[in-house]
Amino acid sequence: MKVIRAKSAGFCWGVERAIQVAREESQGGERTVYTDGPLIHNRQMMEALGKDDIREVGDYQSKGDLDIQDQSEKDSVLVVRAHGISPQRREYLKDLGLPFRDGTCPDVGIIAGKVKSHAEKGFNIVIFGDPEHPEVIGLLGYAKGQAHVISNEDDLTHLPDLGPDVAMVSQSTMFTHEFKHLSSLLASKYPKMLVFDTICGATKERQSDLVELVEGGADAIVVIGGKHSANTRKLAKLAASHNRPTFHIETADDLEAEKFSACKTVGVTAGASTPEFIIRSVCERLEQL
């Protein structure tokens, strides 16, 4: 069976940076690195990082208190994950007294800066995203209580009157066409609204490269990535919208050979948190079918 791999599959630069920060602080396992929630949304990669004593503590949304006292006999450091955190969470983490490194993706940092600066100017902020996602939870912390999260058209109808000054941003991993559609609808009510397309370049590349897989003749699409990964779930949803059998898997062991019996060509893509060793193993397994 022929396997076509998307050009942009695998780590984005923000994830690579977060991993580099954690590994630098680990010094090959000489120090214990604690991450506030999963550094990236990929269980297999977090297990691999564990070999360098990089440990996930806390919860998925970075809300709970951390109990890291006396967990390690080595020197320890606390690293903020790629999705970013609120200013309130940052203050809490720093008060724990451990050395502190920020692994927030710079693209997420830019979004936070726009939310903060416009909230300080009195704008009401509309965030297109998943209200339960840690990135959005972090962004809300910069809005001084002046932000509203929307995910669809129905959410627009439940917004209060936002007043004359409105700014709209997006979670970095959302669909571009959905953001354009919702921002256009909202702008019809608030003509002076400021719209910032903050969907990151890596997300846009993955979405466009997936379309190329379909146009390239893929009979089915395999999307590799963690089940909690927002951008991976978006890729799987986009693939399914093109009327192709779509399989969201985490590793090659999730592949079921009988489901590909009628396929001559399979397209493979992966979320921004998926390591190269997993993508390679999936492609090799598919080629053997």
Residues designated catalytic: 135
8 A C-beta contact, residue 64 and residue 89:
no
**Which amino acid is residue 91, in one-letter code?**
E
What is the rounded CA–CA span in Å between residue 161 and residue 120? 19
Please report which helix (H) or strand (E) contains residue 138, including its range. helix 134-140
Q: How many Cβ atoms sit within 10 Å of the Cβ of residue 69?
A: 10
**Which amino acid is residue 174, in one-letter code?**
M
Pairing of strands 32-36, 54-57: parallel
User: Rounded to the nearest 5°, which phi and psi values hold at 190?
Assistant: -125, 80
User: Rounded to the nearest 5°, which phi and psi values hold at 171?
Assistant: -55, 145
Pairing of strands 54-57, 147-150: unpaired
